[in-house]
Amino acid sequence: MRLAKFLANSGVASRRAAEQIIRSGRVTVAGAVVTDPAREVDAGSAVRLDGRPVGEGAQELVVYAVHKPAGVVSTASDPQGRPTVVSLVESGQRLYPVGRLDADTTGLILLTNDGDLAHRLTHPSFEVDKTYRAVVGGGPVREPALRALRHGVALEDGMTAPARVVRIRPDTLEITIHEGRKRQIKRMCQHVGHRVIRLERVRFGPLLLGDLPPGGHRRLSANEVSLLRNAGSASRTGGTPRGASPA
């Protein structure tokens, strides 16, 4: 198994973050510093992070759904001392967020120590759907703006993929995307003349925010975790999510 995947499976960090940790020289294998995330290792390879032993399966893998309030940052720690999503969940495991929401964006975010699952849910190749509810300014959203969002708009970092867009009120849209560009929903809406006033993520793959209160969290069931692992293929076929969280 590659070293980055070994660290991710051990609950150290997501696979992408594990690669950065390895390249920084913090990991040793059999006493020697290794900076290649692709180095093959196994349970007997004496892998250590910052001098502490790391073993695959050393801790139970868990996933939590969290309703992130405004002002809370989507990181495990914050140098400015702001509250973090990780601080909202009391757990004996070392948790980290699956992807990010802007500090002023609210709604569903996942915390886990399962690096493989985090990688699957965030890597663009798996195209996992996320749905956002956006309240916008600029007057009622008209059909030309809706068509543009559904077709894809040209942002400074390239054309967006077609989005699923439903106008649920004159100033409120539900937008489903599978990309994860920085501030993407806000930039898309701004591009068609509607600044986002409030933004909330209401769905991640098959999982719904439902009635989880702001700041609240709950541990996902084994069935829900299994649905998340298959979220990419389910999203691409356009199937209705089964077994989602209570609405």
Q: Choose, from 102, 116, 171, 211, the residue flagged as catalytic.
A: 102
Residue 232: how many CA atoms within 13 Å on its side-chain side? Answer: 13
Spell out the CATH class of 130-204: alpha beta
Q: Copy the structure tokens of residue 37.
A: 């995330």
Q: β-pairing, 130-136 with 172-177?
A: antiparallel
Instruction: Judge whether 50 counts as a catalytic residue.
Output: no
* Mean model confidence pLDDT for the chain: 88
Min mean pLDDT across 63-72, 110-119, 199-208 is at 110-119
Q: Where are the alpha helices (DSSP H) in the chain?
A: 3-9, 15-23, 115-122, 143-151, 184-191, 222-229, 231-237
Q: Is the pLDDT of residue 75 over 60?
A: yes
Taking only the tens place, the pLDDT of each residue in 33-45 is 999 999 999 877 8
Distance between CA atoms of residues 16 and 18, nearest Å:
5
The answer to whether domain 3-53 and domain 63-124+206-237 are alike in fold is no
> Which residue carries 């007057």 as its tokens?
139
* Cβ atoms of residues 40 and 5 within 8 Å: no
Fold of 63-124+206-237: Alpha-Beta Plaits (3.30.70)
Fold of 3-53: 3.10.290
Taking only the tens place, the pLDDT of each residue in 177-229 is 999 899 999 999 999 999 999 999 999 999 999 999 999 999 999 899 989 98
The domain limits of the chain are 3-53, 63-124+206-237, 130-204
Highest average pLDDT, of 67-81, 86-100, 186-200, comes from 186-200
